[in-house]
């Protein structure tokens, strides 16, 4: 029997009983539990096989609840929350003492956001506790953007996937931390750098080496298909290296003609990066079931959401 359901009351019942369920957001599905329940939070880590040193994002229903979570909110953090919430920006702020260490992996900061999905906003409003929710995929595999993706990962381990349809943004939230009250990007994501800079001015992008202590989940191979995947500026040239292989190709706007291509997915025929981002993970999920020898992905233009898409493709190809 399917565990996918639209029943919000049932979701409330399970979460109130310290169970975990999957919830929809505009970015990806999350594996959610009561932030104040040690049982629920432990089971999120165990179900995902996520190391305990990698902290979780707290989801709240409105900016008004931020004062329950963060002990201090820099001016630019407030500007960003006002500009983008509900929406795909996560702020890393000094935590209140009441936030359990399990959520923050012992750090004195907490990641928090208001997701922009009607079902989950209703759910959060009706609950009397916030939800911790990492992406609902096993550690380091492709993030889920449909209820079916989650079901195929976890159908024997969780009781319910709250169905909210396909995620509209399709890649995770942009994560922003603060140093001396100035914002720093910890993870590229569904809100572009350009849109963020329009609100708070020029912003620092944390380099790969700095990321480790700040956002440990961002270091290694991540968002990865099981099939070996490579990222290139020139798919046609790369194809020459695999004459007798079963090749899958992931391109931005238009098909490539080549006899080696077994399966090909175009992410946006009109060249719309928002559309491409919303289809990215589903395309990787689809290519991954074709029993291919290799997936060749085309690099995106390095601006706007293209930067975030390239970041995910880069991590999908890391070994
Ligand atoms: O779009 C999203 O953000 C989705 C949906 C479900 O909201 N969630 C998500 O969660 O992507 P997750 O757990 O897959 O990624 C959370 C990232 C991790 O890389 C973690 O290291 C970082 O957030 N993070 C969480 N708390 C942090 C903190 N206190 N300081 C620095 N990084 C933190
Ligand atoms: Mg994740």
Q: Which ligand is nearest to the CA of 103?
A: 1
Q: How many Cβ atoms are within 10 Å of 241's Cβ, its own excluded? A: 12
CA distance 125 to 114: 11
Which residues have C-beta within 8 Å of that of residue 166, sequence separation ≥ 6? 145, 146, 278, 282
Would you say 36 is a known binding-site residue? no
Of 149, 152, 153, 86, nearest to 119 (Cα)? Answer: 86
Q: How far away, in angstroms, is 224 Cα from ligand 2 center?
A: 11
Pocket of ligand 1 (CB under 6 A): 25, 27-28, 30, 54-57, 88, 90, 92, 104, 107, 109-111, 115, 133-135, 172-173, 175, 186, 214-218
Return the pLDDT at 173. Answer: 98
CATH architecture of 229-317: 3-Layer(aba) Sandwich (3.40)
Is the model's pLDDT at 213 over the cut of 60? no
pLDDT digit string (tens) for 81-131? 999 999 999 999 999 999 999 999 999 999 999 999 999 999 999 999 999
* pLDDT tens, position by position, 12-63: 999 999 999 999 999 999 999 999 999 999 999 999 999 999 999 999 999 9
Residue 100 buriedness (CB in 10 A; 0-12 / 13-18 / 19+): middle
Q: Tokens standing for 162?
A: 């709250």
Instruction: State yes or no: 143 annotated in a binding site.
Output: yes
**CA dist list (Å): 243 to 117, 261, 306:** 45, 9, 29
Residue 44 and residue 31: Cα distance in Å, rounded? 7
25 is in an annotated binding site: no
Fold of 4-218: DHBP synthase (3.90.870)
Question: What CA–CA distance (Å, rounded) separates 84 from 103?
Answer: 23
Q: Which atom of ligand 1 is nearest to the CA of 95?
A: 29
> Does residue 290 have a known ligand-binding role?
no
Gap between the terminal Cα atoms of the chain: 36
| Tens of pLDDT, residues 52-74 | 999 999 999 999 999 999 999 99
Other C-beta atoms closer than 10 Å to the C-beta of 303 total 11
Angle between helices 147-154 and 273-288 (to 10 degrees): 30
Instruction: Answer whether 56's CB lies under 8 Å from 42's CB.
Output: no
Asked if 96 and 35 touch (Cβ cutoff 8 Å), the reply is no
Cα angle 99, 103, 104; round to 5 = 85
Q: 275: part of which helix (H) or strand (E)? A: helix 273-288
Ligand 1: which residue has its CA nearest to atom 18? 217
Q: How far is the CA of 90 from the centre of ligand 2 (A)?
A: 13
Biggest CA–CA distance in the chain, Å, is 60
Does residue 221 register a pLDDT over 90?
Answer: no
Cα of 258 vs centre of ligand 1, distance in Å, is 39
Do strands 174-179 and 21-23 pair parallel, antiparallel, or not at all (unpaired)? unpaired
For the chain, domain boundaries: 4-218, 229-317
Ligand nearest to the CA of 120: 1
């Amino acid at each position: 029997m399917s565990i996918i359901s639209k029943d919000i009351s049932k979701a409330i019942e399970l979460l109130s009983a310290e169970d975990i369920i999957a919830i929809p957001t505009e970015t990806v599905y999350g594996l959610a539990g009561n932030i104040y329940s040690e049982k629920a939070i432990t089971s999120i880590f165990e179900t995902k096989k996520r190391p305990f040193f990698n902290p979780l994002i707290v989801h709240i229903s409105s900016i008004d609840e931020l004062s329950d979570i963060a002990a201090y909110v820099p001016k630019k953090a407030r500007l960003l929350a006002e500009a983008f919430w509900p929406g795909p920006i996560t702020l890393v702020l000094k935590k209140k003492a009441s936030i359990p260490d399990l959520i923050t992996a012992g750090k004195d900061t907490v990641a928090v956001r208001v997701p922009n999905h009607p079902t989950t906003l209703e759910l959060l409003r009706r609950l009397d506790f916030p939800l911790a929710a990492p992406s609902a995929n096993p550690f380091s595999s492709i993030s889920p953007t449909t209820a079916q993706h989650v079901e195929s990962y976890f159908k024997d381990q969780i009781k319910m996937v709250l169905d909210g349809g396909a995620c509209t943004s399709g890649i995770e939230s942009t994560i922003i931390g603060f140093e001396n009250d100035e914002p720093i990007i910890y993870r590229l994501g569904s809100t572009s750098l350009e849109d963020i800079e329009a609100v708070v001015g020029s912003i620092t992008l944390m380099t790969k080496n700095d990321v480790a202590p700040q956002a440990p989940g961002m270091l290694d191979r991540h968002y990865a298909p099981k099939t070996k995947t490579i990222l290139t500026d020139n798919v046609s040239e790369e194809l020459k290296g695999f004459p007798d292989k079963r090749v899958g190709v992931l391109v931005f706007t238009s098909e490539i003609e080549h006899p080696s291509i077994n399966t090909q997915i175009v992410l946006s025929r009109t060249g719309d990066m928002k559309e491409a981002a919303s289809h990215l993970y589903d395309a990787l999920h689809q290519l991954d079931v074709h029993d291919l020898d290799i997936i060749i992905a085309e690099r995106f233009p390095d601006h706007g959401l293209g930067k975030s898409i390239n970041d995910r493709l880069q991590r999908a190809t890391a070994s």
